[in-house]
Amino acid sequence: MKVLTFEGMDEQISRRLVTALVKQWDYLPKGIRDALLRDASLTVGPGANDPTSLYEQIKGFLSRHRDATRQDV
């Protein structure tokens, strides 16, 4: 899997994109959510030594931040 790194304005754009993704998480089809979680937990880099642990950490991150940004529709 290719590792992406971001600097400067690209880092700001990637943060905004991730924020938008977290806000829309509940509206994504389950298959897309599963694929995103799988891809994110298999990335290479700091904290990625244990994919199972990283998977659970990502799920926790989504839960914490999704609740904070949830909008009633």
Per-residue pLDDT tens over the stretch 29-52:
999 999 999 888 876 665 556 666
The DSSP-derived string for 51-69 is HHHHHHHHHHHHHHHHHHH
Whether 21 contacts 38, CB under 8 Å = no
Distances from the Cα of 18 to the Cα of 8, 48, 49, angstroms:
16, 18, 22
Residue 26 has pLDDT above 80, yes or no: yes
Q: What is the DSSP letter of 42?
A: T
Whether 66 contacts 26, CB under 8 Å = yes
pTM exceeds 0.85, yes or no: no
